[in-house]
């Protein structure tokens, strides 16, 4: 699949998961919902791998990388996201999540020695600025210890997700098979969320409402299996720094859906913010002097 198609698939699906997550709150504990989502998604991927006869046996080194990726990307970071949205608005969580772009660039520099060029910094800066402008009213409503706890959880989620991106990049360098690593990682992350739920004394009660079941299936199949497979394939091709820019585009998609389903009212700062994010997107993902094969998203060889 071309890189552009992978990028669009990940952004469009994850842009819609912000709405789907809101149907997860209520009867089932947030960490239990994370567990059910990723255990189901991981098992589906592993069943697919068995059917396709993918290599499922991993070396000790590969298992270590998969365990790290699963714990960070599918376990702890998502538990923090669900916790954050109990204290702050989802739009503010989107702002905090966009900081993953900067964390990815810094992580690639520290771990792999990849230079952070001016184009990447400008693109990331414009993207984060755009998201801040879009959600400026929500940023102005942050008051009290509960809101600041939500902010800390949100930033922690972005930082740990970025660390998971770096580990995933390392796993790709090791040659760890992609789909089995995602499947095992999701089972590990889901199991970690399940263990946390039990140790914290929370109930494992399962919500049987149609809305919860439908959102769980959507988040597991589309938001986890398809979106992560597309994103991690893209990450292996263009690197965590540039692939991580998905985190800036996703809130814009979420905003468009919010306007359609929730009556979001567009303001001047909204338009300016989207313009900044789009400009940053073009700068981050494209070599402006050579459109086409060198875009970073378009690949004639794959």
Task: Return the pLDDT at 66.
Answer: 96
Task: Return the pLDDT at 92.
Answer: 67
Asked if the model's pLDDT at residue 95 lies above 80, the reply is no
> Which residue would you say has higher pLDDT here, 288 or 40?
40
Q: How many CB atoms lie within 10 A of CB 203?
A: 11
If phi > 0 it is left, if psi is from -120 to 50 it is alpha, else beta; for residue 285 that is alpha
- Lowest average pLDDT, out of 22-31, 41-50, 286-295, goes to 286-295
Task: Return the pLDDT at 265.
Answer: 66
Q: How far from 191 is each of 29, 61, 79, 229, CA to CA, in Å?
A: 15, 20, 12, 20
Stretch 113-138: mean pLDDT: 73
Instruction: Give me the residue spans of the domains in the chain.
Output: 3-295
Task: Write the pLDDT tens digit of every residue in 197-239.
Answer: 999 999 999 999 999 999 999 999 999 999 999 988 888 887 7
What's the CA dihedral at 279, 281, 287, 291 to 10 degrees?
Answer: -90
Kindly tell me the burial class for residue 26, based on how many C-beta atoms sit within 10 Å of its own C-beta (0-12, 13-18, 19 or more).
Answer: exposed
Task: Return the pLDDT at 25.
Answer: 83
Residue of 266, 246, 247 lying closest to 256 (CA atoms): 266
Task: Return the pLDDT at 3.
Answer: 83
Kindly tell me the burial class for residue 236, based on how many C-beta atoms sit within 10 Å of its own C-beta (0-12, 13-18, 19 or more).
Answer: middle
- Lowest average pLDDT, out of 51-60, 68-77, 116-125, 196-205, goes to 116-125
Confidence band (pLDDT; 50, 70, 90) for 115?
Answer: low
Asked if the model's pLDDT at residue 2 lies above 70, the reply is yes
Task: Return the pLDDT at 69.
Answer: 95
Asked if the model's pLDDT at residue 135 lies above 80, the reply is no
> Which residue would you say has higher pLDDT here, 97 or 45?
45
- Lowest average pLDDT, out of 18-32, 133-147, 168-182, goes to 133-147
Confidence band (pLDDT; 50, 70, 90) for 106?
Answer: confident
Task: Write the pLDDT tens digit of every residue in 259-269.
Answer: 676 565 667 87
Task: Return the pLDDT at 280.
Answer: 74
Angle of helix 178-199 versus helix 227-238 axis, rounded to 10: 120
């Amino acid at each position: 699949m071309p890189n552009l198609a992978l990028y669009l698939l990940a952004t469009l699906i994850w842009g819609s998961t912000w709405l789907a997550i809101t149907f997860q709150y209520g009867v089932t504990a947030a960490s239990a919902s994370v567990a059910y989502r990723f255990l189901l998604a991981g098992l589906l991927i592993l069943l697919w791998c068995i059917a396709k006869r993918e290599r499922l046996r991993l070396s000790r080194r590969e298992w270590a990388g998969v365990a790290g990726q699963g714990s960070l990307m599918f376990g702890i970071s998502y538990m923090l996201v669900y916790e954050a949205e109990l204290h702050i608005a989802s739009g503010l969580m989107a702002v905090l999540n966009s900081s993953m772009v900067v964390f990815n660039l810094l992580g690639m520099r520290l771990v792999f020695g990849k230079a952070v060029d001016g184009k990447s910094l400008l693109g990331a800066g414009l993207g984060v600025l755009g998201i801040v402008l879009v959600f400026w009213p929500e940023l102005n409503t942050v008051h009290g210890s509960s809101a600041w706890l939500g902010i800390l959880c949100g930033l922690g989620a972005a930082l740990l997700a970025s660390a998971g991106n770096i580990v995933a990049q390392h796993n790709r360098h090791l040659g760890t098979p992609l789909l089995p690593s995602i499947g095992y990682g999701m089972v590990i992350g889901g199991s970690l969320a399940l263990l946390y739920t039990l140790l914290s004394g929370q109930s494992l009660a399962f919500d049987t409402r149609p809305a919860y079941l439908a959102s769980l299936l959507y988040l597991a199949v589309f938001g986890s299996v398809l979106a992560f497979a597309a994103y991690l394939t893209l990450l292996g091709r263009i690197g965590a720094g540039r692939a991580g820019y998905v985190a800036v585009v996703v809130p814009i998609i979420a905003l468009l859906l919010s306007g359609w389903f929730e009556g979001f009212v567009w303001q001047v700062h909204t338009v300016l913010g989207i313009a900044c994010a789009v400009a940053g997107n073009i700068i981050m993902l494209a070599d402006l002097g050579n459109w086409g094969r060198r875009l970073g998203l378009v690949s004639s060889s794959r």
